[in-house]
A and B are shown apart, each in its own frame.
Chain A
């Protein structure tokens, strides 16, 4: 029975990864479903909105107003 702790460790590792795998599939589905009904221009506008949010937060966090 000396392999039991190792088996428990492996099972625990698999158990911890399962929600991540399920989450991966769910996130990808949401991305594709959300993008399918939009035009390229609408998708690019969303990308711009994300960049502007990143830029605003970066200025705030770094203390750089430029």
Chain B
């Protein structure tokens, strides 16, 4: 049985997603910086997810059609992430960022529902699902700081 190898990326994504919000609570930096850190954590965790997915595909754990669907959804997540960063940069604490957060959430949910959950290999599906959910956690952190 093949094992899902990219444990380091999965570990890094889970680390920042599960522990970083706790660390932010004790941070004395500005609200803007806290949001920026969470946005960077979001980008890092999605990048780790992508590296893990590409490795799993190379190992034969993810079919070509599943891989293409996931990568197309990832492109949408990346565009939503760039728009979110731009919104944070220009609007900072203004409500305009809420729309960008919602769009990013929708893109992540599409990645999960139209890509990851269709992966047939149960081990790969489970690991990738955990990584997507960890990335989603950063959006909750951003939303909480804004509101």
Contacts and interface: CB of A to CB of B under 8 A. Distances in A.
Interface string B42-83: 111011001000100100000000011001101101110110
B20 interface: yes
Contacts, number: 115
A5 to B, nearest CB: 21
Contacts of B23: 28, 32
Interface in A40-66: 40-41, 43-44, 46-48, 50-55, 57-59, 61-64
Interface in A13-52: 20, 23-25, 27-28, 31-32, 35-36, 39-41, 43-44, 46-48, 50-52
Contact of B74 (A24, A54, A63): A54
Interface residues of A, number: 31
Name A's interface SS: helix
23 contacts: A24-B18, A27-B11, A27-B15, A27-B16, A31-B16, A31-B20, A39-B33, A41-B89, A43-B37, A43-B39, A44-B39, A44-B89, A47-B44, A48-B85, A50-B47, A51-B81, A52-B82, A53-B47, A54-B46, A55-B75, A62-B71, A62-B75, A63-B68
